Amino acid sequence: MLYYAAPIFLPLFGAVIAGLFGRVIGARGAQLVTCGAMGVAAVMAIVVFTEVVLQGETATIVLFDWFASGDLDVDWLLRFDELTGVMVFVVCVVSFLIHVYSIGYMAHDPHVPRFFAYLSLFTFFMLALVSADNFLQMFFGWEGVGLVSYLLIGFWYKRPSANAAAIKAFIVNRVGDFGFALGILAIFLMFDTVSFDAVFSGAPGMVDAEVTFLGHSFDFLEVACILLFVGAMGKSAQFLLHTWLPDAMEGPTPVSALIHAATMVTAGVFMVARLSPIFEYAPIALSVVTFFGATTAIFAATIAITQNDIKRVIAYSTCSQLGYMFFACGVSAYGAGIFHLTTHAFFKALLFLGAGAVIHAMSDEQDMRKMGGIWRMIPVTYVLMWIGNLALAGIFPFSGFFSKDIILESAFASHTGLGMYAFGLGILAAFLTAFYSWRLLFLTFHGKPRADERVMAHVHEAPPVMWVPLVGLAIGAVVIGYLMLPMVATDIDFWGTSILVLPIHNALEEAHHVDFWVKALPMAVGVLGIGGAFLFYVLKPELPGQLATRARPVYLFLLNKWYFDELYDILFVRSAKYLGRNLWRQGDGAVIDGIGPDGIAAATLSVARRAVRLQSGYVYHYAFAMLLGLAAIVTWYLIAGR
Amino acid sequence: MQPFVEPDYLPALPELFLAGASVTLLMAGVFIGDRSTRLMTWLACVAMAAAFVMVLVLPDERTTTFFGLFVTDRFAAFMKCLVLVGAAVTLIVGLGYVKREGMNRFEFPVLIVFATLGMLLMISANDLIALYVGLELQSLSLYIVAAFRRDSLRSTEAGLKYFVLGAISSGLLLYGCSMVYGFTGVTGFEGIAEALATTVPGNVAAETGVLIGLVFIAAALAFKVSAVPFHMWTPDVYEGAPTPVTAFFAAAPKVAAMALLLRVFLGPFHELAGQWDQIIIFVSIASMGLGAFAAIGQKNIKRLMAYSSIGHVGYALVGLSAGTPEGIRGVLVYMLIYMVMTLGGFACILAMRQRGQMVEEISDLSGLSKTNPSLALALAIFMFSMAGIPPLAGFFGKLYVFLAAVDEGLYGLAIFGVLASVVGAYYYIRIVKVMYFDQPAEGFDRPVGVELSAVLAGTGIITLFFFAYPAPILAGAEAAAAALMP
C-alpha cells in the first residue's frame, strides 16, 4: 500500500528540484521535472482511485511520529479512504493538465522554474490536506495551500495590484484560519485528541456536551463545527469572506484555474464532507452551512452578470458554484457536494484555461468589452469554451447537469425551510449562471470586433501544448458527470465509511424520488438563461445598456460587488489604520514615549541641571549644607527615634 | 606613677618604617634639592613597596599594641595593601605631570608618604584619639598637596576650600568623640563597645548623647569618603587640584576613610547597628542619586570623576547597610575594584595633553578612537566598568553589594541602586560615544609615557579579566570581612 503515498510526494519532489535547482536545470528542466513528476503522480492517482474507491481497499499509511507534547500526540499518517481517493484523483489529474498547459502559457515568463516549483508545491500541500488523518495534518496542508496561493497570486510581484491582491487573500484567509484553529482547539479541548478516527467515534457521545465561555453555555459540537466552518468559509470564499477570490485573479491564469477554481477553494467543501461525522450531530451548524452556501450561490451569481473582466466573471461563478457545494453539504448531501466538486474541477478549470487562451490570443486583454467576433479565428478555444459553459450551466448530458441537479433536488427533498431557501436561490442562481456564461460567450466570441486592429491582427489559436490539456479537461467535463454518478447513487455504497449521513438526514435518498418538475427545473432555467443572454447580447445588444440606465442603482450595486470592498474598507481597513495611527501617535508617541523614555530623559536632565546648580562654589554654602545635613540627621533621631 | 612598659613594636612595623622613611626622604630632599624629585618619588614608591611586603608578612591574627591604641588584623592588612598600592601607583602616574607642570618639588612625594602613613594609622586605629591623630596626619598632608601648585589660582582655591571644610569636619569629629567619651567614659573601641552593651542601655540621657555623638562622627567620616550631603568639597577640589593629586584623592584616602568608617561602625558602635544603618541608608541613597544625576551636566572630566566617586561611595555603602559579612565583603571588593578603575581612569586623564598643555574637557576626547585607539579602548573599558556593564569588574562590584542588600531584604535600596546605575550609565557611556562616534578633534600628544602605559595596561587587564579569576580577591575580602565581623 505504500505506493499510495507516491502521488502525494512526487509533486513535492518536483517542487524541491525545480525550486532549489531552478537556476541549474533551467526553464526546460524545471518543466520536465515538475510535469514528469506530476504525470507519474496522475497515473498513480488513477491507480489509487481504482483501488481505494472502486475496489474499496482503504488504507492508513503510517509515515512517522510528528510530535508529542503532553496529551497531544500526533502521528504523520496518510488516510486513504473513498473521499481521499476521489480528491487525490481530481487534484492530480487536473493539476497535471494545468502543469502541461502552463508550459505554453508561461513560455515567455522569465521565472519559469519558480512558477513550476510553486505549482507543484501547491499540489503537494493540497494532497497533504486531503490525505490528512488528523486535524493538525489537515491544518498543515490548509496553511500550506494558503501560503502557495499567496505566493502565486503575487507571482508577478512587480505589479502593485498583484501584491495587494496577494496580501488581501492572505489576510482574509487568516480570518478563516483563525476560526479553523479555534475549532481544532475546541476539538482538542473536548476530545483530548486531534485524530480523526478518535474524534469521529467520540462525536455521538458529545451531542449534549456544553462549553462555557464568558459565562454562557454553548452546545459544544455546534460551536466547534461553526468555528471549523468559518475556516471553510475563508478558504472557499463564501459570503462575507469572499472578497479575496476575485482579486486573486491577479495571478497567472493557470493558477486561477488550479488553485482558485478546481482545488484549493474547494478545500472547505472537502473539509465539511470529511468532518461529516461531526457535522451530522450539529444541526444548527448544518443550517449555517446551508444558509451561507445558498446565499453565496445567488450573491456571487448576481455580481457575475455585470462584471466585464473575463476572469472575474469566472471567479464569481466559482464562488457561486462553491455555494452550491456547501448547501449540498448543509442538507447532508455530502456526496452530492463532492460530486459537484469533482465535475466543477474539470469544467471550471476548462473555462479558466479557455479564458487564458482567449487572453493569450487577445494580447493579454481581459476586458470583454474589448473583445468580440473572434470565434472564427480561434475555433478550438471557442468549442472548448462552449463545452465548459454547457457543463457549468447544467445542460444534459454535460457533467454539471448531473451534479447540479442532484444538489438542487437534495435541497428540495430535505423538506426544511432552509432547504427550500437553498432550492429557490439555487434555481435562480442556475438561471443567472446560464445567463452570465452565455453573456461571456457572446461578448467574447460574437458580435463585432471591439478590439483595435493591431490586436485583431494578432489573434491566433493557442499552441497544442495549451489546447491539448484543454481537450483532456473537456473530455472530463463531458463524461465525468455520468461516470461519477455512483457518488450520489442510493443503491451503491460509494463512500463507505468516509462520509457519515444519519438516517434522519436522508435528503440525498429522497432526492431521487422528487417530482419531475423539480428534476427538470434546473435545466429548464438553464436553457432560459441561455435564451435570455441570446436576447440581450445577440438579438438586441442595446438592451443591456438601456436596462443598466433604467435600473441604475441596482446595476451599480451589482457592478460594485454589493459594495463589499468599500464596506470592508471602512469597517476594517480604515478603522484599523485609524486605530493604529491613534495608538501610534497618542498611545505610543504621547503616552508611552512621553511618560516613558522621553519623559524620564527630560526629567533626568532637569534633575541633573538642578543638581549642578547646587554646587555654587562658595565655601559657606558648602559648610552650610554639611551642617544642615547634620542637623537633619540629628533631628531625625531625636524625633523619629523616640 | 606607673612604670613605663615598652609596647610591642612589631605589629606597627610598616607604620614605623614608613615614618622613618618619610623623615629620611625629607632630609635627603632638603640636602639634594628639587632636582631629586624623581629620585624621591621612586624612593617613596620603594618605601611603600617595602611597607606593603611588611604588611603581608606580619601575622594575620588580631593583635593590639601601644596600650590598645593600635590594632592589626586581616581587615587592616587588606585595606593597608589597597592604600599602599593606590598611593604608589598615583605617585608613578603623576611622574610626568609633576615634571612638566611646575610641581617639581621633592616635598610632593614626601607629603604623599606622610599622608599614606596617616592612612595606615587610621586603618589600624583602635581608639578615638588614635583615630583622630591618624586622620589629621592624613588630612594636613592632603590640604598641602591640594594646593601644591601655588601659582595656580584653582589649585590654591581647592586647597583652601578643602582645608576650611576639613577643619569643620575635624571639629565635628572631635565634638562627636567628646560626646561619646562623656557618656561612656572611655575612648578605646573595646571599651566603648562594652559600655554600649552594658551601662548605656536603659540610661536615656546616655543613649541620646552617644547617639548624637555617633551622628557627628558619622558626618565627619562621611565627609572623608565624600558622601552626600557632606560631599560638597569634592567636585571643586577634584577639579582644582593638580591631576595627580586628584587621582590620589580619589584612590587612597577614600579607601582609608572607608576602612575607618567600617571599623568605627562595626567595632565600637556595633551595638547601635539598628540606629546607624538608617544614616548609612540615607547617605547611600543620596550619594547614588546625586552621583548619577549631577554628573550628567558636567563638561570637565575631573569634575565628572568627582561625581562618579560620590556615586561609587553610595554603592559601596549599600553593602555596609546590609550589615552582614557578605555585605562587608561586598564593600571591600567594591573599594578594590573602584580603586583599580579610578587609577586607570586618571591615568587616561593624565594622558590628555594637547601640544604640551593638559586638557580636561570631555569634548577634547572627540574621536579619540581614531587618533589614539588604544587609549580610547582603555578609557572605554574603565567607563563601561564604572557603568557596571558585565562582564567587566565594575559589574561584579555592584553585584556583590546589591546581592547582600537583597539578601537582607533591602529591596528598595537595591532597586534604587540599580536605577541610579542606569542613569549613571548614561554619562559613562556618553564618554565612549564621544570617543567613538564624534568627529575626531585634535589628537593628544604622544607618546603617553612608559609609566602611564604600564598602569593603563595593568588596570585595564584587571578590569577586563576580573571575572575570569576573582577567587583570590574574594577570598582576601572574605577573610578581612570576617576579621571585622566575627
For every residue of B434-449, DSSP letters joined together read HHHHSPP-SPPPS---
Mean pLDDT of the region A406-421: 91
pLDDT band for position A178 (50/70/90)?
Answer: very high
> What is the pLDDT, as a whole number, of residue B224?
93
Sign of the C-alpha dihedral computed for residues B51, B147, B163 and B26 taken in this order: positive
Interchain proximity B229–A605, CB inside 8 Å: no
Residues B293, A607: C-beta atoms closer than 8 Å: yes
Measure B40 CA to nearest chain A CA, in Å.
35
> Where do we find the cell 567600617?
B262
Chain A residues whose beta carbon lies within 8 Å of the beta carbon of residue B230: 626, 629
Q: From the centroid of its chain, how far is CA B281?
A: 19
* Interface contact A633-B219, CB threshold 8 A: yes
Which residue on chain A is closest to B286 by alpha carbon?
A629
Q: Look-up: residue for cell 498611545?
A: A587
Residues 6+ apart with CB under 8 A from B99: B37, B38
Contact B297 A604 (CB under 8 A): no
CB contact under 8 A, B219 and A623: no
Q: Do A609 and B297 touch (CB under 8 A)?
A: yes
**Closest residue, chain B, to A639 (C-alpha):** B208
Give chain A's mean pLDDT: 91
Please compute, for residue A334, the number of CA atoms within 13 A of its CA located in the half-sphere on the CB side.
26
Nearest to B296 among A605, A628, A638 (CB): A605
Residue with the bigger pLDDT between A211 and B224: it is: B224
The pTM is what?
0.67
Of the partner residues A608, A621, A626, the one whose CB lies closest to the CB of residue B296 = A608
Q: Identify which of A611, A630, A637 has the shortest CB distance to residue B290.
A: A611
* Chosen from B179, B211, B215, B269 to mutate, greatest number of chain A CBs within 10 A: B215
In 3D, which of A324, A298, A343 has the Cα closest to residue A436? A298
The whole-angstrom separation of Cα B477 and Cα B486 is 14
CB A322 within 8 A of CB A296: yes
Cell of B297: 551636566
* A&B contacts, CB < 8 Å: 74
Which residues of A fall within a CB distance of 8 Å from B278? 636-637
Which alpha helices (H) appear in B241-300, and where do they start and end? Answer: 243-266, 273-294
Instruction: Answer for the pair A119, A102: CB distance below 8 angstroms, yes or no.
Output: yes
A9 Cβ contact list (under 8 Å, min separation 6): A124
Give A322's Cβ-side CA count (13 Å radius): 34
d(CA B345, CA B251): 11
Dihedral angle over CA of A221, A224, A226, A229, nearest 10: -120
What pLDDT, on the 0 to 100 scale, is given for residue A431?
Answer: 95
Instruction: Report chain A residues whose CB lies below 8 A from the CB of B154.
Output: none
B279 with A638: Cβ contact below 8 A: no
Chain A residues in contact with B294 by the CB 8 A cut-off are 608, 611-612, 614-615
* Tens-binned pLDDT, residue by residue, of chain B (486 aa): 677 788 888 999 999 999 999 999 999 999 998 788 889 999 999 999 999 999 999 988 899 998 889 999 999 999 999 999 999 999 999 988 888 887 888 899 999 999 999 999 999 999 999 999 999 999 999 999 999 988 889 999 999 999 999 999 999 999 999 999 999 999 999 999 999 988 888 888 888 889 999 999 999 999 999 998 899 999 999 999 999 999 999 999 999 999 999 999 998 998 888 888 888 999 999 999 999 999 988 899 999 999 999 999 999 999 999 989 999 999 999 999 999 999 999 999 999 988 888 889 999 999 899 989 999 999 999 999 999 998 899 999 999 999 999 999 999 999 999 999 999 999 999 999 999 999 888 888 888 888 899 999 999 999 999 998 999 999 999 999 999 887
What is the C-alpha separation between A37 and A378, in angstroms, rounded?
Answer: 31
pLDDT digits (tens, 9 = 90+) for A442-463: 999 998 888 888 888 888 888 8
Nearest to A608 among B216, B218, B297 (CB): B297
Chain B CA closest to residue A626: B230
Burial class of residue B406 (count of CB atoms within 10 Å of its CB; 0-12, 13-18, 19+): middle
Who among B229, B236, B275 is closest to A626 (CB)?
A: B229
Phi, psi of A410 (to 5 degrees): -60, -45
For residue B66, the distance in angstroms to the closest alpha carbon of chain A comes to: 33
Which residues of chain B lie closer than 8 angstroms to A631, CB-CB? none
B293: which chain A residues are within 8 Å (Cβ-Cβ)?
604, 607-608, 611
CA distances from B396 to B4, B335, B455, B466 (A): 50, 12, 21, 9
Minimal Cα–Cα distance from B332 to chain A, Å? 26
Q: Do B275 and A637 touch (CB under 8 A)?
A: yes
Amino acid at A364: D
Tell me whether residues A604 and B219 touch, CB distance under 8 A.
no
- Nearest residue on chain B to A630, alpha-carbon basis: B219
Q: Let me know: does A321 contact A348? Beta carbons within 8 Å.
A: yes
Q: How far is CA A544 from CA A527, A539, B415, in A?
A: 19, 11, 79
Interface of A with B (CB under 8 A): 604-605, 607-609, 611-612, 614-615, 617, 619, 621-623, 625-630, 633-634, 636-638, 641
Whether residues A619 and B164 touch (CB distance < 8 A) is answered with yes
Predicted local confidence at residue A615, as pLDDT: 84
Cβ of A626 within 8 Å of Cβ of B169? The answer is yes
Cβ neighbours of residue A259 closer than 8 Å, sequence gap 6 or more: A122, A145, A148, A149, A152, A248, A251, A265
Q: What Å distances lie between residue B19 and A210, B6, B47, B116, B120, CA to CA? A: 93, 19, 10, 10, 11
Q: Quick check: A615 and B236 CB within 8 A?
A: yes
Lowest-pLDDT choice from A155-159, A607-611, B333-337: A607-611
Q: How far apart are CA A581 and CA A573, in angstroms?
A: 12
Query: Helix axis angle, B107-123 relative to B74-100, nearest 10°?
Result: 160
The grid cell for A403 is: 451534479
Between CA B251 and CA B232 the distance in angstroms is 18
Closest residue of chain A to B280, computed from CA coordinates: A633
Which is more confidently placed, A612 or B11? B11
The ipTM, to two decimals, is: 0.89
Partner residues linked to A61 by β-bridges: A78
Residues of A in contact with B279 (CB under 8 A): 633
A167: CB partners within 8 A, 6+ apart: A150, A154
Measure in Å the smallest separation between the Cα of A584 and chain B Cα atoms: 27
Distances (CA, A) of B317 to A208, A641, B279, B281, B282: 69, 22, 10, 8, 10
Which residues in chain B have their CB less than 8 angstroms from residue A618's CB? none
State the Cα–Cα distance between residues B469 and A489, nearest whole angstrom. 84
Q: Report yes or no: B135 and B170 within 8 Å, Cβ to Cβ.
A: yes
What whole-number distance in Å separates Cα of residue B328 and Cα of residue B277? 13
CA distance B321 to B412: 12
For position A380, what pLDDT does the model report?
92
State the DSSP H helix or E strand holding residue B299, giving kind and residue range, or none if neither: none
Which distant-in-sequence residues (6+ apart) come within 8 Å of A241 by Cβ?
A172, A175, A176, A230, A233, A234
> Residue A349 burial (CB < 10 Å; 0-12/13-18/19+)?
buried
Q: Which of B164, B216, B294 is the closest to A611 by Cβ? A: B294
Taking the CA atoms of B484, B83, B261 and B474 in sequence, report the sign of the dihedral they define. Answer: negative
Whether the CB-CB separation of A345 and A263 falls below 8 Å is answered with yes
Count how many Cα atoms sit within 13 Å of the Cα of residue A95 in the half-sphere of its side chain: 37
The beta-carbon neighbor of B229 closest among A604, A608, A629 is A629
Interface test with A, best of B215, B232, B233 (most A CBs within 10 A): B232
Q: Which of A180-189, A449-458, A521-530 has the lowest mean pLDDT?
A: A449-458
- Cα distance from A638 to chain B (closest Cα, Å)? 8
Q: Specify the DSSP class assigned to residue A451.
A: S
Report strand pairing: A72-80 vs A216-219: unpaired
Distance CA B362, CA B352 (A): 10
Q: Where are the beta strands (DSSP E) in A441-509?
A: none
What cell was used for B469?
A: 579569576
Chain centroid offset of residue B338 CA: 9
A232-250 pLDDT, tens digit per residue, is 999 999 999 999 999 999 8
**Confidence (pLDDT) at B257:** 94
